[in-house]
Amino acid sequence: MSKQFFGTDGVRGTVGSGPMTADFAMRLASAAAQVLVPAGGSVVIGKDTRLSGYMFESALEAGFVAAGADVLLIGPLPTPGIARLTQEFDADLGVVISASHNPYYDNGIKFFDRSGSKLTDEIERKIEGFLENPAITLESGSLGKAKRIDTARIRYQDFCAASFPDGMDLAGIKIVFDGANGAGYKVGPRTLGNLGADVIPIGCSPNGKNINDGCGSTEPDLLQLTVPALNADVGVALDGDGDRVVMADENGKLIDGDQLLFILASARNRKGDLKGPVVGTVMSNLGLENALKAENIEFKRAKVGDRYVLKELKESGGIIGGETSGHMIVLDKATTGDGLICALQVLAIMKETGKKLSELAAGMSKYPQTMVNVRTKTRLDPDSSSAIQAAVAAAEDELAETGRVVLRASGTEPVIRVMVEGENHDQVVSIADRLATVVAESAA
């Protein structure tokens, strides 16, 4: 049975439109409580810096408390921080109010189970089954309570710092940190500063509407300009909820998730503590696969979405995986994708080796790759269109063994993502444009 509300990363949409309304949030909390929170159980709720976070926090609190759950209100904190605190407080459920890298006028709600892992499709379907009913309200003596946790940020900072090697610090390293005006705007600079780095913060002045606006991992231009302008050693950019990271080397060149994955995996491999295969996605650059193969590192591809990367890691016994976008998972350091912890692991490699980030990334050559997002009026399955499939087959014949074509529907919006990569940049762009035209015509 397909899901109506849950996408690849929780429930997401434009605030004020279904499903992102206060009424829906309260019913969602009630449904989740009935599936996952036993009588007398507890729920951790965190959020990013969007203006609508206040509204959804109150609605979720009401739904959970009415269903008999105690609520621990964390306030703004990166998504992986909520996963960690769900474990630390022995809560039954963790809830994050965030639309990740989307603009401020969108928002979303995603869940972690008591182990700090994202919910399975089966559990999400069970929750949706309860959404057909009104939110429940227990009798007064069975209602839950709510309180704010003032130590949350310090607890998460300490957890991130503990992922850094014992006896090592960041003294002598100048870091430009871009918090995307989001959930990591405090914990990022403070964690790096506490480890001894000279930190220059940008994108760390949220006002409720400027999250991901001209800053962060999805718009890193300012980071790339600032690093060389201030003679910094490296730049770090999170997205709005802090589960993605991209970096900039000393020259301002962007280092994306594929390159970070190569840096982490190759360093672990040389030290002899890399376990299992490295896991990317169908969108991971072919250059990553080839670079890992050259170092005798097994590579596997999962569906797009960090939940699927995590699933493949667990099934194959791997510990390092991620996406081109910067969703990075280091399983022996955290239970879910964590941008700050990933950045700390890369910074530790720089410190251990004495190499610049540009030198660490030089071992991987990226194939030219282009992505075209085709917006459709309604959701479209590209596999259901004979015209699209014929165009894809022709493109694959043209590329032969030197490239790849991937078409996939976005899990959060009515968009078909057309990705083409190969050895020749002009050929890649031409094929992607032709395919995008066919997709647009098929969706008309």
64 located within any domain: yes
pLDDT for 384 equals 85
Same domain, 103 and 179: no
Same domain, 211 and 320: no
Please check whether residue 282 is in contact with residue 301, taking contact to mean a CB–CB distance below 8 angstroms.
yes
Q: What is the DSSP letter of 432?
A: H
The predicted-structure confidence for 222-255, as pLDDT tens digits, reads as follows 999 999 999 999 999 999 999 999 999 999 999 9
Same domain, 20 and 146: yes
Q: Which of 257, 187, 185 is nearest to 215 (CA)?
A: 185
Q: Which of 339, 361, 380 is the last residue of a domain?
A: 339
267 pLDDT exceeds 70?
Answer: yes
The predicted-structure confidence for 269-311, as pLDDT tens digits, reads as follows 999 999 999 999 999 999 999 999 999 999 999 998 888 999 9
pLDDT for 377 equals 81
The SS3 of residue 43 is strand
287 located within any domain: yes
Q: Which of 253, 268, 292 is the last residue of a domain?
A: 253
The pTM score is: 0.91
32 located within any domain: yes
- Split at pLDDT 50, 70, 90, the class of 184 is very high
Same domain, 120 and 178: no
The predicted-structure confidence for 196-207, as pLDDT tens digits, reads as follows 999 999 999 999
361 located within any domain: no
Spot the catalytic one: 30, 42, 98, 100: 100
How far is the C-alpha of 375 from the C-alpha of 276, rounded, in Å?
38
CA angle 48, 49, 54 (to 5 degrees): 90
Residue range of the domain that includes 322: 256-339
Same domain, 131 and 27: yes
Same domain, 266 and 199: no
pLDDT for 9 equals 86
144 pLDDT exceeds 90?
Answer: yes
pLDDT for 443 equals 83
CB atoms within 10 A of CB 278: 27
Same domain, 264 and 241: no
Same domain, 54 and 135: yes
158 located within any domain: no
162 located within any domain: no
Same domain, 232 and 262: no
Average pLDDT rounded to a whole number, residues 354-383: 92
> Tokens 């227990």 correspond to what residue?
138
Same domain, 78 and 145: yes
Q: Which of 227, 253, 279 is the last residue of a domain?
A: 253
The residue type of 271 is: K
Percent of the chain with pLDDT over 70: 99
Average pLDDT rounded to a whole number, residues 156-167: 97
How far is the C-alpha of 432 from the C-alpha of 345, rounded, in Å?
35
Q: Is 17 a catalytic residue?
A: no
- Split at pLDDT 50, 70, 90, the class of 414 is confident
Output the average pLDDT for the chain: 95
Name residues whose C-beta falls within 8 Å of residue 86's C-beta, 6 or more positions apart in sequence: 44, 93, 94, 112, 113, 114, 116
Average pLDDT rounded to a whole number, residues 59-74: 98
CATH assignment at residue 407: 3.30.310.50
Average pLDDT rounded to a whole number, residues 128-153: 96
How far is the C-alpha of 368 from the C-alpha of 155, rounded, in Å?
42
273 located within any domain: yes
Same domain, 398 and 271: no
- Split at pLDDT 50, 70, 90, the class of 406 is very high
How far is the C-alpha of 161 from the C-alpha of 206, rounded, in Å?
24
CATH assignment at residue 238: 3.40.120.10
In the chain, the number of structural domains is 4
Same domain, 295 and 242: no
How far is the C-alpha of 84 from the C-alpha of 112, rounded, in Å?
10
267 located within any domain: yes
Please check whether residue 380 is in contact with residue 416, taking contact to mean a CB–CB distance below 8 angstroms.
yes
